[in-house]
């Protein structure tokens, strides 16, 4: 079996989701004849929400970077934070992360573009984040081109 790169996964932001990702990653590695190499650190959902409520994307990025630094020290070559709420600090996190980060948005956007989902058409959905002038997160939404509200 071929060994894959070591993945550092920041889990705990939905324990069930972490288990789901772990199982899917293990299955995909096995199907490809690869040995999985993964390290997982557990972040606290409540802490993430505290940073969002405080309108502190820099603080959230630093909180998550603490886990990414630990994962790198444990041998991770690339990192992933597979949860939606941490996208609140995606600009700050990407700019300061000690690891290259895998985007969860790119494959989601590609999948949605390949088929219809309710009011979303395959002609290229977009994910928008809106912060007010103080940096507070006012909305995350997924829209089809030309769509201004949920259908």
User: What is the domain partition of the chain in residue ranges?
Assistant: 2-102, 105-151
The mean-pLDDT minimum among 2-6, 40-44, 85-89, 104-108 falls in 104-108
Sheet holding 34-42, edge to edge: 34-42, 2-11, 78-80, 100-101
CATH of domain 2-102: 3.40.50.1860
Enter the tokens of residue 89: 């600090």
Owner of token pair 């948005």: 105
- Residue 3 is predicted with a pLDDT of 83
pLDDT digits (tens, 9 = 90+) for 14-53: 888 889 889 999 999 999 999 999 999 999 999 999 999 9
- Residue 121 is predicted with a pLDDT of 44
What Rg, from alpha-carbon coordinates, does the chain have? 17
Enter the tokens of residue 83: 């949860």
Average confidence (pLDDT) over 119-146 = 45
H/E stretch holding 140: strand 137-143
Give the whole-number percent of the chain exceeding pLDDT 70.
73
Q: Say how far apart CA 25 and CA 89 lie, in whole Å.
A: 25
């Amino acid at each position: 079996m071929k060994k894959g790169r070591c993945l550092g996964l920041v889990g705990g932001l939905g324990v069930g989701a972490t288990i789901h990702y772990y199982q899917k990653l293990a299955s995909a590695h096995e199907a490809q004849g690869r040995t999985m190499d993964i390290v997982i650190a557990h972040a606290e959902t409540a802490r993430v929400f505290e940073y969002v409520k405080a309108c502190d994307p820099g603080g959230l990025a630093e909180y998550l970077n603490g886990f990414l630094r630990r994962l790198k020290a444990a041998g991770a070559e690339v990192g992933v934070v597979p949860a939606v709420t941490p996208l609140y600090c995606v600009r700050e996190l990407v700019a300061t992360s000690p690891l290259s980060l895998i985007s969860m948005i790119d494959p989601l956007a590609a999948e949605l573009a390949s088929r219809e989902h309710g009011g979303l058409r395959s002609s290229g959905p977009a994910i928008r984040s809106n912060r007010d002038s103080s940096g507070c997160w006012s909305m995350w939404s997924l829209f089809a081109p030309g769509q201004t509200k949920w259908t």
